[in-house]
Amino acid sequence: MAARCSIAFMVMASCLSVVVSGGLPGDLFAHSVASKLRVDRDTTARASSDFGRIVAAAPEAVLHPATPVDIAELVRFSASSPSPFPVAPRGQGHSARGQSLAPGGVVVDMRALAARRGRVNVSAGGAGAAPYVDAGGEQLWAEVLRATLEHGLAPRVWTDYLRITVAGTLSNAGIGGQAFRHGPQITNVLELDVITGRGDMVTCSRDKEPDLFFAVLGGLGQFGIITRARIGLEPAPKRVRWVRLAYSDVVTFTRDQELLISKRASEAGFDYVEGQVQLNRTLTEGPKSTPFFSRFDIDRLVGLASESVSGVIYFIEGAMYYNESTTASVDQKLTSVLEQLSFDKCFVFTKDVSYVQFLDRVREEERILRSIGMWDVPHPWLNLFVPQSRILDFDTGVLKGVFVGANPVGVILMYPMNRNMWDDRMTAVSGNDDMFYVVGLLRSAVVPGDVERLERENEAVLAFCDNEGIGCKQYLPHYASQDEWRSHFGPKWSRVTELKVKYDPYGILSPGQRIFSSLT
């Protein structure tokens, strides 16, 4: 007999709410995976929200798999049930819009697999073979880094934050300051183990089961559950010259960023290029010092911002890798790169840190935010890919338009990427134009009413982009209707629906993305 109950899939802290019915067949609890299912309220409550703290929906149960076979059995059970129930793999639950939730179904706590030894294995290469790591989908990037560094190796592309899982980022794309040169993390994957929505366990790569491989990379969890990823490695540097260059003028800022990621400059330039925007009020009312900037630096930056008409200033963040033996040449290289750039005179800030300190830099910010109660707050984040040809319009309309008077607590990222480093066969959606900007409006809601206000501002940003025909794409996307999803995927939409029918015909996987309300 099917034990059924309904569940509220609602948007917290706002007036929106959608109710979805669900429940689990009673005979699931007689199945061999039953001993790994938890239904107590503490466990289901932990799996019912995410980093965003905007959406909440409790699953009926949480699976703590001991091996990938447990996951395959659960999915197979659902797929063969008269009323298939949703199954959502959850990595760290660091999504912002409920993407890892499974209202009325089962959340698979992927991190349970990390308790097993031997889920990260490095092949150091040699004799013509390139090095790689086989990492469980549940592994944190910080864990992958630790394991690969034991061999003097590391993946090429990193997200800014390392306490998120390999499969969680590969389900999106995995972008960061190295992606202009090496592409997003998904383009650095060599092979995957995947459990499809039918419960089949499949190994896939560019040559073997390529449809599944390209579907799953950037596939928002819709086509399969990644249990292992083979990722290419390179020799890891030991140290990093980490630089921030301040600009009061957006035209110079974007021109320099684009130069830095162009082929000509990138070969001899920074190994990492990102950028940030600071609105005047963030500087004057924000922290008086940060892990990067001293109090004195902030005072100087406030001065720079007050000299600019808009009060907005920009930073290029660059990093140059080196080893002890190449210390002299990194100084020369840095000097020659800086000579080509036009940042505001005297506004160059440099740090010298270990490679690990650099990659794990957000950890320090996390510690600070946790200590002042500002980490576990709602995060109505909006991430956009803005075509290079319209970035100045976006700057005028949003940063100096919608955001005038705003006091965004959080970070605004703005940096360019090369589209040719993305593989269009993957379901991941990149930006328009050969070069496009990542704009991350990573704001936190800290006082009552902030969520609604920030959401209204997000809507105003999207409306501006629509009205002006900017051609933005969302990264870590979320939409309210299938029409919007169709438009998000553009020419890939029909392929995406075909792949869904092929690999998840019962519409079981990752319902929190809310792409396919029902395919059954």
The secondary structure element, H or E, covering residue 251 is helix 250-261
Instruction: Give the chain's count of helices (H) and strands (E).
Output: 17, 22
CA end-to-end span of the chain: 21
71 binds ligand FAD (CB under 6 A): no
Binding region for ligand FAD (CB under 6 A) out of 159-167, 301-309, 415-423, 485-493: 159-167
d(Cα 187, Cα 96) in Å, to the nearest integer? 24
Catalogue the active-site residues: 94, 160, 274
* H or E stretch at 483: helix 482-489
Residue from 43, 44, 172, 248 that binds ligand FAD (CB under 6 A)?
172
Single out the residue of 164, 277, 313, 465 in contact with ligand FAD (rule: CB under 6 A): 164
At its nearest, how many Å lie between ligand FAD and the CB of residue 179? 9
- Selected from 78, 139, 148, 165, the binder of ligand FAD by CB under 6 A is 165
Site stretch for ligand FAD (CB under 6 A), options 53-61, 153-161, 241-249, 337-345 = 153-161
What SS3 class is residue 24? strand
Of 112, 212, 451, 476, which lies in the binding site for ligand FAD, with binding defined by CB under 6 A? Answer: 476
Asked if 478 is part of the footprint of ligand FAD (rule: CB under 6 A), the reply reads: no
Query: Minimum distance between the CB of residue 71 and ligand FAD, rounded to whole angstroms?
Result: 9
Q: Which of 175, 189, 320, 496 binds ligand FAD (CB under 6 A)?
A: 175
Residues ≥6 apart with Cβ < 8 Å to 496: 222, 427, 489
C-alpha pair distances (Å), 419 with each of 158, 226, 381, 441: 17, 25, 23, 21
Question: Least distance from C-beta 161 to ligand FAD, angstroms?
Answer: 3
Query: Does 178 engage in binding with ligand FAD (CB under 6 A)?
Result: no
| Three-state secondary-structure class, residue 129 | strand
- Contact between 276 and ligand FAD by CB under 6 A: the answer reads no
Q: Are 437 and 431 in contact (CB under 8 A)?
A: yes
Binders of ligand FAD among 363-382, rule CB under 6 A? Answer: none
DSSP 312-364: -EEEEEEEEEE-GGGHHHHHHHHHHHHHT--PPTT-EEEEEEEHHHHHTHHHH
Contact 310, 349 (CB under 8 A): no
48 counts as binding ligand FAD under rule CB under 6 A? no
Q: Which helix (H) or strand (E) holds 223?
A: none
Q: Is the separation of the CB atoms in 96 and 444 below 8 Å?
A: no
188 is an interface residue for ligand FAD by CB under 6 A: no
90 scored as a contact of ligand FAD (CB under 6 A): yes
Number of residues that bind ligand FAD (CB under 6 A): 37
Q: How many Cα atoms within 13 Å fall on the side-chain side of residue 206?
A: 10
Q: Which residues of 250-286 are buried (b: 16+ CB within 10 A; e: fewer)?
A: beebbebbbbbbeeebbeebbbbbbbbbbbbbbbeeb
Cβ contact 9:57 at 8 Å: yes
We find the least distance from the C-beta atom of residue 485 to ligand FAD, in angstroms, to be 14
Give the nearest distance from C-beta 101 to ligand FAD in angstroms: 8
CB 218, min distance to ligand FAD, A:
10
CB of 24 to ligand FAD, least distance (A): 18
Q: Which stretch binds ligand FAD (CB under 6 A): 9-17, 34-42, 168-176, 477-485?
A: 168-176
Site for ligand FAD, residues 91 to 150, rule: CB under 6 A: 91-95, 99-100, 110, 137
Binds ligand FAD (CB under 6 A): choice among 161, 321, 394, 485: 161
Q: Does 236 bind ligand FAD (CB under 6 A)?
A: no
Reported as half-sphere exposure (CB side, CA atoms, 13 A), residue 438 has a value of: 29
Taking CB under 6 A as the criterion, which residues in 293-352 touch ligand FAD?
A: none
Q: Which is nearer to ligand FAD, 379 or 492 (CB)?
A: 379
Residue in 159, 248, 427, 430 binding ligand FAD, rule: CB under 6 A: 159
DSSP 265-314: HHTTS-SEEEEEEE-HHHHHHS-S--SSS-HHHHHHHHHHHHHSSS--EE
The residue ranges that bind ligand FAD (CB under 6 A) are 50-51, 88-95, 99-100, 110, 137, 159-161, 164-165, 167-169, 171-176, 220-221, 225-226, 362, 476, 510, 512-513
